[in-house]
Structure 1
Amino acid sequence: MAKSIKKRVQTAHGEVPTQIKNPDLVRERRRHIIDSTVKLFIEHGYHKTTTRMIARAADFSIGSLYEYVSSKEDLLYLVCKTIHEEVGKAVENALSDNAREKERLAGIIRQYFLVCDRMADHILLMYQVTQFLPEKWKKQVLENEINITNIFIHALAGLAGKNKFPELDKARLNLVGHNISVLGQMWAFRRWHLKKNFTIDQYIEVQTDFILGLIF
């Protein structure tokens, strides 16, 4: 199961060229640049944030920054890809648990929702500014958004019919997969209001009961 999940999740930095040959260094430095960029985009807006501002916030020179990315569009794309990579890792870890099927699904939901909490600003930014990406990146981001849902659908299909986990037809698999994806992101979009009544753990508990109720 975990191996097939890996095949469905692309690496977060594969499509954007870099002058650096060390992939671990690229991953580490780009993640630092990405996190700095998210803060700037949220504070100043996408159009008003310059590459010079990004370099300063990340403690890079302009020349060093361009060794890892060539434009703001690259960075925005990498923000989106990083979210998808984090989700893939979370689901893969949850699936490696030896718990029974129902508990493993609850674990998948929990780990995904925690990613949405941890990367809430990244997710919100992704939906706000994807429209500004070049068409090739925009298309890839939209495809990757469906890929996230497909991770859940594939995981559900692997659990269905085992022990006391019900069989699920294609339509139900699709519906539950989309519910998991959207309800996790809802925490990112509406956390400013939801936090008035729920902690992230309480939110996970309520939404997990709802999702499991679609199956059991």
Structure 2
Amino acid sequence: MARKRPDEAGVVSQVKNPELVHTRRRQIVDASVRLFIEKGFHKTPTRRIAEAVGFSIGSLYEYVSSKDDVLYLVCDAIHDEIETGIHRDIAREKQGLDGLEAAIGVYIRVCDTMADHLQLIYQETASLSKKWRRRVLESEVRITNIFVERIEQAVDEGTLAPMEPSSVELLAHTIMVIGHMWAFRRWFLKGRYTLEGYIAFQTRFILAAAREGGAPSAGAGPGPDQHAGNPSSMHWRQP
């Protein structure tokens, strides 16, 4: 058996060819996303994942060490696709308040496209080991920082009133939740609102809060490490 080595994501592999590892893991992720959305993580046996990719169980475990690794790679790939979609579609030439407004619309549209994937992350992240769960939460914060930067840019340019850093962060997290809301509550919202109508309403809501200087100053709360040890406080399951 070849000696295991860590790859860039921290998931170990017995295979030494990085390009082959990337290709095979992409296949594993694509198959697993479909299965996890359809059946759920716990009801999908590792054998079924291997069959969907066209691997034997032994071949599958050359690229991952456990089913936990597979779930982490799925969550990481989903976050990467969301982040890439936001960066790709944001109009770079727009600055200040216009740039923030454009970013909100782009983000909610990405959430609409990836609604099933977002729901998968929120339903199954609690099943991850503490190490991988912390990584997933760090990815959430990284995406949130896209909006932190947009808000700070608008403040620096004078198109938004100055606000405390805690207010900037809370406003950015509110934008994230509004995007998730469209994905999680679609069973209700899509029967009553168009996507563009939802974007227009929520953008007005966010910009009104931003013009008032954001949210109230917040006291210290638990950090990512504390949340990682208490996943029930972070995740909500759609009824």
Please confirm whether the aligned pair reaches a TM-score higher than 0.5, indicating the same fold.
yes
Q: For the superposition of Structure 1 and Structure 2, which TM-score range results when normalised by the shorter chain?
A: 0.7 to 0.9
Return closer, same or farther for 1:164/1:45 CA change in 2, 3 Å cut-off: closer
> Counterpart of 2:65 in 1: which secondary structure?
coil
TM-score, scaled to structure 2: 0.73
In the alignment, the residues of structure 1 paired with residue 16 and residue 115 of structure 2 have an alpha-carbon distance, to the nearest angstrom, of 31
1:113 aligned residue = 108
Using the TM superposition, give the Cα deviation of residue 160 of structure 1 relative to its aligned residue in structure 2, in angstroms.
1.9
The number of aligned residues is 205
For structure 2, list consecutive stretches of 5 or more residues without a partner in the other structure: 1-7, 212-239
Residue 54 in structure 1 maps to residue 52 in structure 2: no
Partner in structure 1 of residue 142 of structure 2 = 147
Q: Percent identity?
A: 47
Per the alignment, in what secondary structure is the counterpart of residue 36 of structure 1?
A: helix
Q: Which residue of 1 aligns with 2:156?
A: 161
CA 1:215–1:94 in structure 2 vs 1: closer, same or farther (change >3 Å)?
A: farther
Q: Which residue of 2 aligns with 1:3?
A: none
Gaps (5+ residues) in structure 1? 1-12
Q: Partner of 1:15 in structure 2?
A: 10
Q: Judging by fraction of residues, say which structure has more helix.
A: 1
Residues 73 and 102 from structure 1, CA distance in 2 versus in 1: closer, same or farther, beyond 3 angstroms? same
Instruction: Name which one, 1 or 2, has greater alpha-carbon Rg.
Output: 2
The structure whose RCO (Cα within 8 Å, separation 6+) is larger is 1
Per the alignment, residue 70 of structure 1 pairs with 65
- 1:62-211 to 2 correspondences below 5 Å: 62-94=57-89, 97-162=92-157, 164-211=159-206
- Corresponding position: 1:40 with 2:35: yes
Q: Which amino acid aligns with 1:58?
A: V
For residues 120-173 of structure 1, the C-alpha deviation after alignment (integer angstroms, 9 at most, x for no partner) is 222111121222211211222223323332332133213323153433332321
How has the CA–CA distance of structure 1 residues 210 and 14 changed in structure 2, closer, same or farther, with 3 Å as cutoff? same
User: Judging changes above 3 Å, is the alpha-carbon distance between structure 1 residues 32 and 159 closer, same or farther for their aligned structure 2 residues?
Assistant: farther
Preserved CA contact (<8 Å) 2:46 2:57: yes
CA RMSD, aligned part only? 2.6
